[in-house]
C-alpha cells in the first residue's frame, strides 16, 4: 500500500468524505458532544463552504483522508487573517490515520500555495488549546505562536491559539544554475 499523500482541490464528489472526517475529528477531539451542535452543523455543510472558500483534500490510495479550508482577510470563512495572510481553517485528518503525514502534507501544500499568491506574505491559523499534536506539527514546520491574537470561542469560552509563519516566494535561480 502506498503511503504517499496527494493534496488537491476538493471536488463535489469529496464532500461526503469531508463531512464525515470533519465530524469524526471534531467529535473525537471532544470539542462538541454531538453533530447537532450549531457550529458542527455549519462546518458539515461542505457544499456551501466550498461555494465561497477553497477546500483542499489529502488523498491516499484514492481515498480522501483529510481536508482544510482556506481564506484571506475579509472572506466569509476568515476568522483571524490579517491583510497579506492566507488563513487555514478546519484542518482535519481522519482519526483512523492521524499521525501518518496527511496533516503535514496539507500544511506544506498550503505554504506552497501561499508563496505563489500575490500579496500574501504569511500563513496564519487557529487551533484548539488542547490540540498538542497539532501545536507540535506547526512549530516543527516553522510557525510561531502569536498569543496576542488568541481568542475565545463565544459559546464555550475555550481559548483558541493563533500561529503564524511568514512566507516568501521561491527564489529564482540565476541563469545557468540548475542545482
Q: Give the model confidence (pLDDT) of 99-139 as tens digits.
A: 888 999 999 999 999 999 999 999 999 998 888 888 999 99
Architecture of domain 6-166: 3-Layer(aba) Sandwich (3.40)
Res 1 pLDDT > 50: no
Residue from 14, 150, 147, 156 nearest 92 by CA: 14
Residue bearing cell 490579517: 82
Res 155 pLDDT > 90: no
Question: What pLDDT score was predicted for residue 35?
Answer: 75
pLDDT tens digits for 64-109? 999 999 999 999 999 999 999 999 999 999 888 888 889 999 999 9
Res 175 pLDDT > 60: no
List helix spans (H) across the chain: 15-29, 38-43, 46-52, 102-115, 132-140
Residue from 86, 78, 54, 84 nearest 151 by CA: 78
Question: What pLDDT score was predicted for residue 145?
Answer: 96
Contacting residues for 56 by C-beta, under 8 A, at least 6 apart: 7, 8, 9, 10, 67, 68, 70, 106, 109, 110
Res 2 pLDDT > 50: no
Mean pLDDT within 19-42: 78
Task: Give the CA dihedral 41, 43, 49, 50, nearest 10 degrees.
Answer: -120
Res 179 pLDDT > 60: no
- Which set of grid coordinates corresponds to residue 67? 481536508
Task: Give the CA dihedral 170, 68, 64, 104, nearest 10 degrees.
Answer: 50
Amino acid at each position: 500500500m502506498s503511503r504517499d499523500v496527494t493534496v488537491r482541490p476538493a471536488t463535489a464528489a469529496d464532500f461526503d468524505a469531508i463531512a464525515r472526517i470533519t465530524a469524526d475529528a471534531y467529535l473525537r477531539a471532544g470539542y462538541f458532544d454531538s453533530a447537532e451542535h450549531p457550529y458542527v452543523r455549519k462546518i458539515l455543510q461542505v457544499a456551501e463552504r466550498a461555494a465561497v472558500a477553497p477546500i483542499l483534500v489529502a488523498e491516499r490510495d484514492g481515498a480522501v483522508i483529510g481536508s482544510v479550508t482556506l481564506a484571506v482577510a475579509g472572506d466569509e470563512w476568515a476568522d483571524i487573517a490579517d491583510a497579506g495572510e492566507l488563513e487555514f481553517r478546519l484542518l482535519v485528518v481522519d482519526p483512523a490515520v492521524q499521525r501518518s503525514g496527511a496533516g503535514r502534507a496539507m500544511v506544506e501544500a498550503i505554504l506552497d500555495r501561499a508563496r505563489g499568491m500575490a500579496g500574501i506574505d504569511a500563513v496564519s491559523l487557529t487551533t484548539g488549546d488542547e490540540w498538542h499534536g497539532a501545536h507540535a506539527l506547526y512549530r516543527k514546520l516553522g510557525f510561531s505562536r502569536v498569543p496576542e491574537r488568541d481568542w475565545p470561542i463565544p459559546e464555550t469560552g475555550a481559548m483558541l491559539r493563533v500561529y503564524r509563519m511568514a512566507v516568501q516566494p521561491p527564489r529564482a535561480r540565476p541563469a545557468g544554475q540548475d542545482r
